[in-house]
Amino acid sequence: MSDDDCLMAIAGVCEHLAFLIPSGDEGAAPEAWSIQTQVRWCGPDGSRGRIVVALDQGAAVATAANLLGLPPGQAPGEQDVRDACSELSNVIAGNLLPVLYGQDHEFHLCPPEEVAPARLSGRTVLCLALLDGTLGVAIQGDADNSRILKAVRLPTGSAP
Amino acid sequence: MAFSILVVDDNRLMRGMVARSVTLSGLPVSSLHEAGDGEQALALLRRQWVDLVLLDINMPVMDGETFLGQVRADARLRATLVVVVSTESSQPRIARLKALGAGFIHKPFTPESLVKAVQDLMAIGSGGAP
Ligand SMILES: [Mg+2]
């Protein structure tokens, strides 16, 4: 599992769920995020964590407009933007967990919660530049989830 | 055959998106219903004929897996076609859902994958090849 694998999974969800196309530029966190949603999850062996998804104004509005199938120029309502960003974060979280930990584990995802926009922090922070704006994802693991991490599964007999 | 379809998802926009995908898919639809969680969906199924349920898994109140178990345990509802539409990737959980006779498509999905899942389920139901 690398940051590139995670970014590919995130970009895939953005494109196929919300028709948000990556711009090809390097992503950088904007001055301020417009909306931020977190999805808490728990998994096997007491593993748990949070995936926080942040969108700037352009990306948030485009997500809602695209999920609603609005014609160009028609602006979505505030509640629509909230609901759209919630669902986007839910699908991003669901698609990131198997990239991070593999498909053998069962995870329980809590419903997305809106949180006050703040600078993203965590084990991994990724930014994706889109044609409509910027999306950020912070991967936060509580406790020590290394028992279920794909990346640290060593071949039998190898040194720790 | 035109389907009476129930879309179950806790996100209002996602219910709309699934409904639009049903329309785009070309599946013949006689009526389209919505529910925000498994409990609402069960209540609706008990008062209204539904041919096909498109079911989210992660929902408050009653999740999709619990809902599916209750449908299969109810003699009057157990033959209802169910396609799970979820972000779920856990192979053990997907296997459990399929063992309960549900089709599965992964979010994000395309209208084509929806049609295929429904056709596969109907082929199994009529004894044809999946
Ligand atoms: Mg849900």
Residue B34 belongs to domain with CATH number: 3.40.50.2300
Predicted complex ipTM: 0.86
All residue ranges of chain B with pLDDT < 70 are 125-130
Residue of B nearest to A66 (CA): B17
For residue A18, the chain B residue with the least C-alpha distance is B108
Strands B3-8 and A134-142, by their bridges, are unpaired
Domain count, chain B: 1
Question: Do the domain assignments include residue A51?
Answer: yes
Gap from CA of B59 to ligand 1 centroid (Å): 5
In which band, very low, low, confident or very high, does the pLDDT at A109 lie, cut at 50, 70 and 90?
very high
In a 13 Å sphere around the CA of B98, the CA atoms on its Cβ side amount to: 13
Contact A94 B107 (CB under 8 A): yes
pLDDT at A124: 87
Q: Is the pLDDT of residue A90 over 60?
A: yes
A28: in domain: no
Q: How far is A98 from chain B (nearest CA, A)?
A: 6
Taking the CA atoms of A54, A56, A59 and A60 in sequence, report the sign of the dihedral they define: positive
Convert the pLDDT of each residue in A137-149 to its tens digit.
Answer: 999 875 456 666 6
Å from CA of B11 to ligand 1 middle: 6
In angstroms, how far is CA A38 from the centroid of its own chain? 9
Asked whether the beta carbons of residue B108 and residue A93 sit closer than 8 angstroms, the reply is no
CA distance B90 to B92: 6
With cut-offs at 50, 70 and 90, classify the pLDDT of residue A158: very low
On the CB side of B72, how many CA atoms lie within 13 Å of its CA? 14
pLDDT in tens, A10-20: 999 999 999 99
Banded pLDDT at A157 (limits 50, 70, 90): very low
In terms of residue numbers, what domain contains A142? 3-23+33-151
The total domain count for chain A is 1
Give the Cα separation of B88 and A84 in Å (integer). 19
More confident residue, A46 or B96: B96
Give whole-number Cα distances, A159 to A15, A20, A144, A154, B82, in Å.
41, 43, 20, 8, 48
| Partner residue facing B16 (CB), from A68, A86, A111 | A68
The enclosing domain of A41 has a CATH number of: 3.40.1550.10
Domain interval for residue B30? 3-123
Q: How far is the CA of B85 from the centre of ligand 1 (A)?
A: 9
Residues of B in contact with A83 (CB under 8 A): 11-13
Residue A127 located in a structural domain: yes
Q: A58: buried, middle or exposed (CB in 10 Å: 19+, 13-18, 0-12)?
A: middle
Q: Which positions in chain A touch B86 (Cβ < 8 Å)?
A: 94
Residue of chain B whose alpha carbon sits nearest to that of A69: B17
Tens of pLDDT, residues A1-10: 688 899 999 9
Contact predicate B52/B118, CB 8 Å: yes
Mean of pLDDT values over A99-120: 92
